Amino acid sequence: MGQRCPGHLGAMSHVCAPLTSLVQRFGDRVATACGDRRRTGRQLHGRVAALSMALRETLGVGPGVTVAIAALSTDRFFEAMLAVAACGGVLAPLNWRWSAREAAVAVEVVEASVLVVDQESLHFWSHLCEVCPSLRSGVVLCEGLPNGARRGDRLHSSEELIAAHPRAELRIATSPDGVAIICFTSGTTSSSKAVAISHAAFHSQSLAKLAVVRYGSGDVYLHTAPLFHIGGLSSALAMLMAGAVHVFMAKFSGRGAVEAIQETRVTALIAVPTMLVDMGAAAQGGSLPSVTKLLVGGGPMSAAHQDITTHLFPNATVTTAYGMTEACSSITFDGPFEPGSWRENRTEHGACAGVAAPGVELCIDTDVPGTEGEVLTRGPHTMTRYLGKPAATLAVLSPDGWLRTGDVGRLDAGGRLWLSGRKKDMIKTGGENVHASEVEAVVRSHPGVVDVAVVGVADVRLGELVAAVVSIADGWSWKNSSDGGSGSGAHKLGIWIGPREGRGPGRGPGARSKTLSIEGVQEACVRGGLARYKLPRVVAAWRAELPKTSSGKVKKGELRARLGAVLRRIPSKL
């Protein structure tokens, strides 16, 4: 029988509960595929049970103990996630793209006792075990410890831990407050938040996906989304509940996804616009007829994205989703639309995000019904809190359970949500959230920059590019530069968009002997600890003071419009 903490969640709401059903119904069928590895449902169950027991007995992981993980999206990540949850531990997935500094801040925020890494992220262990006092031990997802890895009581091989418990039974426990996973909303500076999400939230989200997208035991699901993202995590657990086959790809690439779909006859996947563009390019005009269910999220879709989707997946029903980490992924769904019939519903008033997911309440914070306001949601899907940020929690989560999304929209007479923008100053690039203030703080540290405003500009492949408008300091000159990529989207582009002269702060006569360029700005961002996906792809120079309101705030709307107008005149670069 499963174990639980008295007074808290039982096995019925536990993310590991579907493992029992998986063995009973599909014990001898392949459950996971990763490269050349294949595991049956019975093998998956046994490996999770063994690793869970090892985590308990060898590493001291019990109810409420936090385990951080930095690894690529593989079957071993999936097993470790379930094993930690079975112990009653709390998993904190780290973005493997982060710098060591960002990862260290995240580990300190969640006070992780154990760090799980793969060989790709082994460098995190060597750094974090020195700077994070909460870390007691580490696990490497591999057959044996790699050459150079320090053995001893602190570092262990996952396969050796599993092999040491060949007849382990799966015993399910929960954390004292019912939290299953901690997800980070963005990078790890002051703008970052660690979101605590319960077993009940994942249970609710899984049921919603099964009901709306109609996943089932006959599906073969390709993990395109990384497992450190809420979209990847929530879909993985939904597929476990459905009894589907999991196909893992360590890192997403268009070619890799197309090949995996063709080789394993994938029937279902989730994608953001960037992925659709990359898969379309890799398919070279071909289609992927085995896919019958496609869930699309990550922001608005252009007409080009929709055309690519229709051609690439001719037999797929398409469902779009709107959500956020704090809501355990999807809040609303639009669809499913029959094959070939989906087009994004957009008007001058915004884009249709569909209707509330089953079990989800939705309302608009406005005094006049039918008008725009902030989108609010309530239900078992919402987070429990932001770790270590009680004031931030109170600012978005009311005592009666309403979660403020930070997005602006309206509800029509049919209950459909229409989104018109974001209250939060955030850029979504390639499915990643980047806070403008985080990038601005680092760019301002460059001696050649007096002021900076970071905005998002439209891009066909990535959705938005991170763009920085910089006001240049006296004594510095500007160097235009570009490195255009194939297809859509530049790797980097440095241009003038504003006046070259002005009387802003620090402006005085004198020789401009130092040169500022986009390369210099990006190098400063790397030195400042920003992950590479947060680096500005466009840097626009502005000699005068940036335009501001009477209260001293930069007019980002004006800068975004001006930058967009300039970029439209140079289509070869973007």
What DSSP string runs through 258-303?
HHHHHHHT--EEEE-HHHHHHHHHHHTT---TT--EEEE-SS---H
Residue 224 lies in a domain: no
Residue 251 lies in a domain: no
What is the Cα–Cα distance from 314 to 373, expressed in whole angstroms?
Answer: 37
Confidence of residue 175 (pLDDT cuts 50, 70, 90): very high
Radius of gyration of the chain (CA): 24
pLDDT value at position 153?
Answer: 62
Confidence of residue 556 (pLDDT cuts 50, 70, 90): confident
Mean pLDDT of 403-422: 89
What is the Cα–Cα distance from 88 to 19, expressed in whole angstroms?
Answer: 15
Higher pLDDT: 408 or 287? It is 287
Which of 180, 200, 220 is the endpoint of a domain?
200
Confidence of residue 547 (pLDDT cuts 50, 70, 90): confident
The tokens of 336 are what?
Answer: 């499913």
Residue 377 lies in a domain: no
Is the pLDDT assigned to residue 303 strictly greater than 60?
yes
As for how many domains the chain has, the answer is 2
Confidence of residue 7 (pLDDT cuts 50, 70, 90): very low
Residue 221 lies in a domain: no
Residue in the structure block whose two tokens are 């994608």: 271
Higher pLDDT: 153 or 84? It is 84
Residue 289 lies in a domain: no
Residues 133-160 pLDDT 10s = 999 999 999 987 876 666 556 899 999 9
Closest to 252 (Cα-Cα) out of 242, 243, 261: 261
Crossing angle (nearest 10°) for helices 230-242 and 75-86: 80
- CATH number for the domain including 71? 3.40.50.12780
Beta-carbon contacts of 259 under 8 Å, excluding residues fewer than 6 positions away, are: none
Residues 464-511 pLDDT 10s = 899 999 988 888 988 888 765 433 344 567 787 655 444 333 333 344
Residue 208 lies in a domain: no
Domain of 76 in residue numbering reads as 1-200
> What's the burial of 122, exposed, middle or buried (CB within 10 Å: 0-12/13-18/19+)?
buried
Mean pLDDT of 349-377: 91
Residue 163 lies in a domain: yes
CA 404 to chain centre: 19
- Across the beta sheet with 385-386, the strand order is 155-157, 137-140, 114-117, 66-70, 90-93, 179-184, 194-198, 385-386
87-91, 221-225, 294-298, range with the lowest pLDDT: 294-298
Closest to 239 (Cα-Cα) out of 271, 276, 258, 214: 214
Is the pLDDT assigned to residue 573 strictly greater than 50?
no
What is the Cα–Cα distance from 96 to 69, expressed in whole angstroms?
Answer: 9
Which of 179, 200, 221 is the endpoint of a domain?
200
> What's the burial of 564, exposed, middle or buried (CB within 10 Å: 0-12/13-18/19+)?
middle
Is the pLDDT assigned to residue 265 strictly greater than 60?
yes
Which of 148, 167, 200 is the endpoint of a domain?
200
Q: What SS3 state is found at 509?
A: coil
The amino acid that residue 24 corresponds to is Q
Higher pLDDT: 460 or 522? It is 522
CB-side exposure of 144: number of CA atoms within 13 Å? 2
- CATH number for the domain including 487? 3.30.300.30
Residue 297 lies in a domain: no
Enter the DSSP assignment of 173.
Answer: B
Residue in the structure block whose two tokens are 């009477």: 550
What is the Cα–Cα distance from 198 to 175, expressed in whole angstroms?
Answer: 9
What is the Cα–Cα distance from 155 to 149, expressed in whole angstroms?
Answer: 8
Is the pLDDT assigned to residue 214 strictly greater than 70?
yes
Enter the DSSP assignment of 87.
Answer: B
Residues 182-213 pLDDT 10s = 999 854 334 579 999 999 999 999 999 999 99
Give 503-509 contacts, CB < 8 A, sequence gap 24+: 503/544, 503/545, 504/450, 504/451, 504/471, 504/543, 504/544, 504/545, 504/546, 505/450, 505/451, 505/545, 506/450, 506/473, 506/474, 507/474, 507/543, 507/544, 508/474
